[in-house]
A and B are shown apart, each in its own frame.
Chain A
Amino acid sequence: MISLGAPEDLRDLRPRFHAMVGLVLLAFIGLVGRLCQLQILEGEHYARRAERNFIDAVPVEAPRGRIFDASGEPLATNRPAYSLYITAWVRDVAPVVPGVAVVRGDRKAMPDDAVRQLAAQLEFVDENDRKKFVGAVNVLRADEEKGHYATAVRGNLTWEEYARIQTRLDSLGNWVEIRESSRRHYPQADITGFVTGYMGNVRPETLKRGGHAGYRTGDRVGRTGIERQWENYLRGRLGARSRVVDVRGQEVPTPPNEALAVLPPDRDPIPGQDIHLTLDLELQRAAYDAFEGVLAGAVVAIDVETGAILAMVSIPAIDPNLYEHPIPRTLWDEWTASPLKPFIDKTVQEHFFPGSTYKVVSALTALQDPEFDPSREVECTGAVKYGGRRFRDTHAHGFMNLERAIVESCNVYFYTLAMEETLTLEDMAGVARSLGLGERTGLGLNGEVRGRIPTEAFEARTGTYQRGVQLNNAIGQGNVKVTVLQLAVLYATLANGGELLTPYIVERVTTNDGRLVFSSQPQAKIAPEITASDLERVHRGLLGVVNDESGTAYSERPRGLVVVGKTGTAQVGRDQQREAAEVEGWDSSKDHAWFAAYGPADAPQVAVVALVEHGGAGADAAAPIVMKVLQHRLGGTSESEAPVRAPGVPPPLPGRDEGREGEGGR
């Protein structure tokens, strides 16, 4: 052992020390070189990558365009709401004890526990609602690609839900986020329910289709009505807001100034365009109120000069506000099972036998036959026999000419014309089609149906041809089916002197700040070949229906207003009768009640058609509704004692100066 007492000679170690110094210097120069490379040469690159880490662009929802009636009353607006967003796959950088294992940067899926905890904060309307929510979350958890992004899983949180989640955000984990959004509000609720339509979550099929780029899971889209048809105008375009997030993807309340400085500028959303309808809300409400006590039915009021829809009501209607919240299964099932079909817009989506309202088509067809003499009288004995079948009438009307037959709604008269081959299926179909029946009117709302105007070929094809079918056809039974809107357009054509119009309901579209985007012009279709004199004959007949003492709707005539109209009582075929009518007061064996009218008689402005399903006689059930609507629109006062014209005085003729002069001269 060498003593440590005396100094040693260590000079032989010197070269080693020098070599060591050299090595140390070399190593440090290497490190400084690498630092230089990363920080100075490639510094910009890494600065960009650091920015990519913390910059997060959040889409900002555009306020949806509003819907207004003709006077500017809102029918659909927006209200602030809160939406629940979930990012199912969040980077979870777990704290690790020094150096033991590399910290992995994996994203981890939201665990079952967290889903359960979150679900406990929500108010589900039923088990089905809960399943749907959990299902939506599971879809995100299953798909790592999709799960990277915050996705709306539940919109329109209640205040309680919002408060509960907001206070528990820390314990619920990084998956959950609440963002401000908006919900749709329909101030008129079910009064305009079918016109505005309602909104629903965008369907997965829609998202898959490439054409609908720009929709995200959880977005709301219009499902029916204007909301659906004008979706692209109402929708607006998403904006983007940049924000600083930390490693958990959470927004940082007080980010470093440098981070704020490099944030890209926010992009404002482009608000959706406002839709102004031709609808007269007051009239719509009056029409809706007129259905008081009626279970199912529809009414359409149309401006006869332009084709603008003034009111359009279908009963029963579902309040579109309900769709902004989850709907309990039981309620949904109730709607689906209801024989009243609350989902169906009965103005356009369902067709019915027109019944006697169709006699105007029969009359016009007959008048086109040069051999037909409208003043010839036919005796009605209450029924006719044809081909071994009895075709009934309500009662024996006696001797009828064309005008009387319309006034008193005599079936036998039209049976006779049909038997005499004046009214063949082909001729009837020709006239009906020229008046817009059997085709969509082109309103473009709620998936109109065509209706049905039978021809010989049609009857042969469907195997429904039997002898005497043209007899039923002549009185609007058999296989004739029309929609309420079609009939309204038809009566508007009669009212405006023979111009067939395309109905429209959107008056104009404006941007959020009021600039005009689109405005509707009245559009006439190919005019039916109806002579003025034929029209006048039919008009006179219709005038008698309301104003002649023997008219079928005389009892319903309004005070202070001369209107023109036609009742209809459509028998419901057996196959039409719906199953298990459990609704009180609903008798599916009763006839459909129709009333089609326009007024005022001398210068018609509005045509109104009402249908009351299984309402019984047209004059009793449907006519009062139409009269109320007409009175509301035309101001005919029920208080005014003024004249119902003296019986026997011929009422004025529509839209024709000579008619009015004639009246004045008398």
Chain B
Amino acid sequence: MNRMLLGKPQDLWGRIRRSIDWVVVTIAFALISLAVINLNSAGTVAWSESVMIHVGWLCVGTIAMFAVSAVDYRVLYRTSYVAYGAGVALLGAVAVWAYTAKGAGRWLVIGSQRFQPSELMKVLLIVALARYIHDLPRREGNRVRYLFGALGMVLVPAIFVIRQPDLGTGIFLILIATSMLAVTELRLRSILVLGSAGVLSLALMWRYGMLEYQRNRIDVWLTPELYADDDGYQTIQAMISVGNGGFFGRGVDAGTQNVLRFLPERFTDFPFAVYAEEWGFVGCSMVLALFISLVLWSINLASQARDRFSALLCIGVAALFFWHVVINVGMVLQVFPVVGITLPFFSRGGTNLLSMMIALGILMSVSRSRQYR
């Protein structure tokens, strides 16, 4: 009788089932399914070698995600600085033995695979910064002093990355850090000061610090039609692809911009353009809705977190996805200039995928021990 009322004692499977955050898993695998369909469509043949490599990384990433989710986030707390140090060391290694491709050294080659430590660094920075902010003494006077520590933690990897040169990812690291600081430490006034300082430094960089190709890229972004036959080709073709999709899209594997190869970088920076052409406004809204759900769910988890560290982890992951999606999609839609920021799951690139899955794992780990389940 009692057993009927209380239900059966939880078996192992039941416990595993209940400890998994199914919201995250559902959203992630919905996105992954669409992404794999899209990658197949962007390729010449379905299930080509490169798609299979992507799927392989997906499996590795899935295992990593569940493995990380099984780890108590307090373990992450303890290992965070070590991991961060290892990440910076990897970046240093890249700087020394960079595999150079197209003038930028970002990869480490291990076996037949290439790793991009700057991608992994995004997650490591989130964890380390969460611990740093968590550890800060609260309700005390001079807090700007502590901010310098955070600044240092961001700038060391960011400078490594920018010197690769990969300005996009460098700024991306700063964006994540700023987002995390904005939620906890910074006052509104400081945020405004920091924001204007950021704009000012960008302006100064534009004037003095930028490489020619980077400055040119901004020019092309603002007036792509003037460069339609050379530098602006990519931007214009991406916009044509998106516009060609219309409301319902051209259908999978039927977008002319994609199939006839007018759209460049279909696997890396512009998979969203392929997707937009073939799935149309309806499909795009669906993917954006999935991403927004993920980001909002992360913020929700943050607000339910047991402590500052786990809340910051969730905010970091939310920022990671948010900026990835906004910048990549914005770039395809000509809202931002072309920078090498990928779209999570949709872009090919193993380290990136792995980092994203680990980030989701962290989310699930926090989710397991949040306050109001």
Say whether A1 faces chain B, with CB atoms less than 8 Å apart: yes
Of the candidate stretches B2-10, B88-96, B193-201, B242-250, the one touching chain A is: B242-250
Distance (whole angstroms) from the CB of B159 to the closest CB of chain A: 18
Complex-state Cα separation, A24 to B182, whole angstroms: 14
Distance (whole angstroms) from the CB of B287 to the closest CB of chain A: 10
Complex-state Cα separation, A49 to B250, whole angstroms: 15
Say whether B70 faces chain A, with CB atoms less than 8 Å apart: no
CB-CB nearest in chain A for B101: A97
> What chain A residues lie within 8 Å of B349 (beta carbons)?
98
Q: B335, A34: Cβ atoms under 8 Å?
A: yes
CB-CB nearest in chain B for A96: B102
Interface centre among B246, B309, B315 (most CB of A within 10 A): B246
Q: A35, B276: Cβ atoms under 8 Å?
A: yes
> What chain B residues lie within 8 Å of A104 (beta carbons)?
230-231, 233-234
Complex-state Cα separation, A266 to B264, whole angstroms: 30
**Which of these, B104, B256, B311, B333, contacts A54 with CB under 8 Å?**
B256
Q: B247, A40: Cβ atoms under 8 Å?
A: yes
> What chain B residues lie within 8 Å of A45 (beta carbons)?
243
Distance (whole angstroms) from the CB of A204 to the closest CB of chain B: 27
Complex-state Cα separation, A592 to B159, whole angstroms: 97
Complex-state Cα separation, A246 to B101, whole angstroms: 27
Q: Mark interface residues in A17-46 (1 if CB within 8 Å of B CB, else 0).
A: 100110011011011101110111011011
Of the candidate stretches B19-27, B52-60, B142-150, B322-330, the one touching chain A is: B322-330
CB-CB nearest in chain B for A97: B101
Q: B340, A98: Cβ atoms under 8 Å?
A: yes
> What chain A residues lie within 8 Å of B106 (beta carbons)?
100
Say whether A125 faces chain B, with CB atoms less than 8 Å apart: no
Q: From known contacts A46-B239, A258-B250, infer whether A2 and B134 are also in contact, taking CB-CB under 8 Å.
A: yes
How many pairs, one residue from A and one from B, have CB atoms within 8 Å of each other in the complex?
216
Complex-state Cα separation, A259 to B306, whole angstroms: 56
Q: From known contacts A17-B303, A99-B340, infer whether A50 and B241 are also in contact, taking CB-CB under 8 Å.
A: yes
> What chain A residues lie within 8 Å of B326 (beta carbons)?
27-28, 31
Of the candidate stretches A6-14, A427-435, A581-589, A634-642, the one touching chain B is: A6-14
**Which of these, A10, A24, A40, A102, contacts B322 with CB under 8 Å?**
A24
Distance (whole angstroms) from the CB of B313 to the closest CB of chain A: 12
Say whether A47 faces chain B, with CB atoms less than 8 Å apart: yes
Complex-state Cα separation, A47 to B254, whole angstroms: 13
**Which of these, B102, B268, B308, contacts A8 with CB under 8 Å?**
B308
> What chain B residues lie within 8 Å of A31 (beta carbons)?
288, 326, 329-330, 333, 335
Say whether A4 faces chain B, with CB atoms less than 8 Å apart: yes
Q: B329, A39: Cβ atoms under 8 Å?
A: no
Complex-state Cα separation, A36 to B242, whole angstroms: 10
> What chain A residues lie within 8 Å of B342 (beta carbons)?
98-99
Say whether B228 faces chain A, with CB atoms less than 8 Å apart: yes
Of the candidate stretches B202-210, B291-299, B356-364, the one touching chain A is: B291-299
Complex-state Cα separation, A405 to B314, whole angstroms: 127
Q: B288, A50: Cβ atoms under 8 Å?
A: no
CB-CB nearest in chain B for A4: B74
Complex-state Cα separation, A8 to B284, whole angstroms: 39
Say whether A93 faces chain B, with CB atoms less than 8 Å apart: yes
Q: A47, B243: Cβ atoms under 8 Å?
A: yes
Distance (whole angstroms) from the CB of B257 to the closest CB of chain A: 6
Q: B303, A14: Cβ atoms under 8 Å?
A: yes
Q: B261, A17: Cβ atoms under 8 Å?
A: no
Say whether A106 faces chain B, with CB atoms less than 8 Å apart: yes
Say whether A244 faces chain B, with CB atoms less than 8 Å apart: yes
Say whether B317 faces chain A, with CB atoms less than 8 Å apart: no
Say whether A101 faces chain B, with CB atoms less than 8 Å apart: yes
> What chain A residues lie within 8 Å of B162 (beta carbons)?
none
Q: B285, A35: Cβ atoms under 8 Å?
A: yes
Say whether B98 faces chain A, with CB atoms less than 8 Å apart: no
Say whether A252 faces chain B, with CB atoms less than 8 Å apart: yes
**Which of these, B280, B299, B305, B333, contacts A20 with CB under 8 Å?**
B299
Say whether B152 faces chain A, with CB atoms less than 8 Å apart: no
Q: B322, A27: Cβ atoms under 8 Å?
A: yes
Q: How large is the interface on B (under 10, 10 to 19, 20 to 34, 35 or more residues)?
A: 35 or more
Complex-state Cα separation, A51 to B292, whole angstroms: 33
Complex-state Cα separation, A455 to B305, whole angstroms: 122
Complex-state Cα separation, A42 to B229, whole angstroms: 21
Q: B299, A99: Cβ atoms under 8 Å?
A: no
Say whether A163 faces chain B, with CB atoms less than 8 Å apart: no
**Which of these, A1, A21, A49, A255, contacts B299 with CB under 8 Å?**
A21
**Which of these, A2, A7, A13, A50, contacts B256 with CB under 8 Å?**
A50
> What chain B residues lie within 8 Å of A21 (beta carbons)?
296, 299
> What chain B residues lie within 8 Å of A98 (beta carbons)?
265, 267-269, 340, 342, 347-349
Complex-state Cα separation, A25 to B322, whole angstroms: 10
Distance (whole angstroms) from the CB of B248 to the closest CB of chain A: 10
> What chain B residues lie within 8 Å of A246 (beta carbons)?
260-262
Complex-state Cα separation, A172 to B206, whole angstroms: 43
Q: From known contacts A7-B371, A28-B288, A96-B265, infer whether A49 and B243 are also in contact, taking CB-CB under 8 Å.
A: yes
Distance (whole angstroms) from the CB of B323 to the closest CB of chain A: 10
Q: B229, A106: Cβ atoms under 8 Å?
A: yes
Say whether A389 faces chain B, with CB atoms less than 8 Å apart: no
Say whether A576 faces chain B, with CB atoms less than 8 Å apart: no
Complex-state Cα separation, A86 to B285, whole angstroms: 45
Q: From known contacts A20-B299, A98-B269, A103-B265, infer whether A8 and B306 are also in contact, taking CB-CB under 8 Å.
A: yes
Distance (whole angstroms) from the CB of A151 to the closest CB of chain B: 20
**Which of these, B135, B241, B254, B335, contacts A257 with CB under 8 Å?**
B254
A-B contact pairs, 27 of them (CB 8 A): A2-B134, A14-B303, A16-B183, A17-B183, A20-B315, A20-B318, A24-B299, A24-B318, A38-B239, A39-B280, A46-B240, A47-B246, A50-B257, A50-B262, A54-B256, A93-B264, A96-B264, A98-B267, A98-B348, A100-B102, A100-B166, A101-B103, A102-B217, A103-B265, A246-B260, A247-B262, A259-B260
The 4 residue pairs across chains A and B that have the minimum distance between CB atoms: A99-B340, A46-B243, A105-B233, A98-B268
Given contacts A46-B244, A256-B259, 20 further A-B contacts (CB under 8 A): A4-B74, A13-B311, A20-B315, A24-B299, A25-B292, A27-B326, A31-B335, A34-B333, A36-B281, A38-B239, A38-B333, A43-B243, A49-B240, A50-B241, A53-B237, A98-B269, A99-B341, A102-B338, A106-B233, A258-B256
Interface set of B (CB-CB < 8 Å, partner A):
74, 77, 101-104, 106, 134-135, 166, 168, 182-184, 213, 217, 220, 228-234, 237, 239-247, 250-251, 253-257, 259-262, 264-265, 267-269, 276, 280-281, 284-285, 288, 291-292, 295-296, 299, 302-303, 305-309, 311, 315, 318, 322, 326, 329-330, 333, 335, 338-342, 347-349, 371
